[in-house]
Amino acid sequence: MHTCLLFSDLHITAPGETIIGLDPADRFAGALDQALTTHPEARHLLILGDLTHTGHPEEYARLRTLLADCPLPVTATLGNHDNRAAYFAAFPEAAQDGDGFAQAALDIGPCRVLLLDTLDESGAHPLHAGYLCDTRLDWLSARLAEAPDRPTLVAMHHPPVRTGFDGMDRIRLVNDTALMALLNDHPQVRQLVCGHVHRAISGNRAGLAWSILKSPCHQMPMLLGAEGSGHSTDDPGGYGIALLTPDTMILHAEDVAPARPVAHSSHS
């Protein structure tokens, strides 16, 4: 069994800037510390986009500092709050697919993890929605074709599925049908994992299981049907733990514990 830590939606800001009163850097640092302490067996850290809040170089520089002491290999992809050029300028050694996108194929034990870059900077689709152009889909198709026997986890920022949050559903992956058709042609794909919604959600589309991760920072409140994409609450942050085995992929969703122990009374 091989363990990967899964984070999404860090939304790192410049020093002193907060989101609904929360410091995203503090929240990520605390969550990562908890995850590393709890899972010393982890082999890899995957981060599924919205690395920063505005895509500014100062934010990527701050993220680089936050990851400097991480003992695990880190592979990241991008979300709608990112800027691809600023990301690669700050992380020139970061994984990319040869066409300039933050996509990667990782063989971990007997399994394969494919990270897809759904950031759309074309301006051709709704602002903040995700898109996989033909170049990125062709890369995915080749990575799937070359390893048909490796149980595969596909990770990306924008979900290719609806969640019931109407405003967020409007900015899901635009070409979700094309992606699902490709994935459904490859039975080794066992599981999808995404971010973007800032809430732990799971489901199934056309036989393929999917999960969405919490953010370590701000969360989506339970407002099913709500329009807009700016709803946030300061519920506990969270992250995921993937346990990869040849016949099963297990995804845990873990909340970040409060910084101070919660006082409670004794009933003895």
Q: Which residues of this protein are in contact with Fe ion, per CB under 5 A?
A: 9, 50, 79-80, 196
Give the residue with the Cβ less far from Fe ion, 151 or 216.
216
The helix (H) or strand (E) run that includes residue 238 is strand 238-244
Give the residue with the Cβ less far from Fe ion, 151 or 159.
159
Q: Smallest Cα–Cα separation from 60: which of 68, 69, 51?
A: 51
Tell the smallest beta-carbon distance from residue 190 to Fe ion (Å): 24
Alpha helix ranges (H) inside 68-150: 84-90, 134-145
CA distance 135 to 117: 11
CA distance 56 to 81: 10
Give the residue with the Cβ less far from Fe ion, 50 or 120.
50
Tell the smallest beta-carbon distance from residue 163 to Fe ion (Å): 13
Tell the smallest beta-carbon distance from residue 81 to Fe ion (Å): 6
Q: Answer for the pair 116, 77: CB distance below 8 angstroms, yes or no.
A: yes
Give the residue with the Cβ less far from Fe ion, 11 or 136.
11
Give the residue with the Cβ less far from Fe ion, 24 or 79.
79
CA distance 46 to 24: 17
Tell the smallest beta-carbon distance from residue 7 to Fe ion (Å): 11
Tell the smallest beta-carbon distance from residue 171 to Fe ion (Å): 8
CA distance 112 to 144: 9
